[in-house]
Chains A and B, each alone.
Chain A
Amino acid sequence: DAGVTQSPTHLIKTRGQHVTLRCSPISGHKSVSWYQQVLGQGPQFIFQYYEKEERGRGNFPDRFSARQFPNYSSELNVNALLLGDSALYLCASSFVRGRYNEQFFGPGTRLTVL
């Protein structure tokens, strides 16, 4: 089975532009979470979606938005890019069953804002 896939792998944008990052979860997983990892730091939670509904949001500005599609894939959108948005964006999918919730990560999208 394919793992979590993300596209694109690398992206270079300029300040003020908009970006869309994509994630496909492991087959059968209905939950997708997004994390931002700045160089040298641990990942920071951005969003969680489960069954196409937003279930959690981290401390990120409204420039960040996301959605989940009927096939459980997800998009993360960032508007009005700032230099500080440069980071590795990680997507995780999980199969939630009661208290069992192991998260599997994709390879990430490296975003550079110039």
Chain B
Amino acid sequence: KQEVTQIPAALSVPEGENLVLNCSFTDSAIYNLQWFRQDPGKGLTSLLLIQSSQREQTSGRLNASLDKSSGRSTLYIAASQPGDSATYLCAVLNAGNNRKLIWGLGTSLAVNP
């Protein structure tokens, strides 16, 4: 059974810092891994998707890596800004017919001015 874990559960950093969020999963039979952002009381915004055959994806100040064999992904945020404050969730799409996303509990990020 696929399980996704995110560490840390919460993070508070001063503006301008570079930071890393971690995601681990137990079953490497995945099609892809997605990182999402969720603002309080809001829906989910897809940040980056990494296919199982890829090692990393970049979008602006965000870089996500994937090591499928070890079941790990990291989301790197460069030069953090107060507007980055949100909860960051990672989810893996299991291989097979039942293509459901399996989610971590998220990392709550606060970037302080």
Contact = CB atoms under 8 A, between A and B. Distances in A.
B43 A105 contact: yes
B32 A101 contact: yes
Contacts of A100: 51
A56 interface: yes
A50 to B, nearest CB: 9
B101 A45 contact: yes
B99 interface: yes
A103 B42 contact: no
Tell me the dominant secondary structure on chain A's binding face: strand
A102 interface: yes
A68 interface: no
Interface residues of B, number: 27
A72 interface: no
Tell me the dominant secondary structure on chain B's binding face: strand
B100 interface: yes
Contacts of B106: 42
B32 A56 contact: no
Contacts of A103: 34, 46, 93, 101
A108 B32 contact: no
Interface residues of A, number: 28
A35 B101 contact: yes
Interface in B43-66: 43-46, 49, 51-52
A102 B32 contact: yes
Interface string B3-38: 010000000000000000000000000011010100
Given A99-B51, A102-B32, A48 B99 contact: yes
Contacts of A42: 4, 89, 91, 103-106
B23 to A, nearest CB: 11
A110 B40 CA distance: 12
A58 interface: yes
B41 A56 contact: no
Interface string A82-98: 00000010101000100
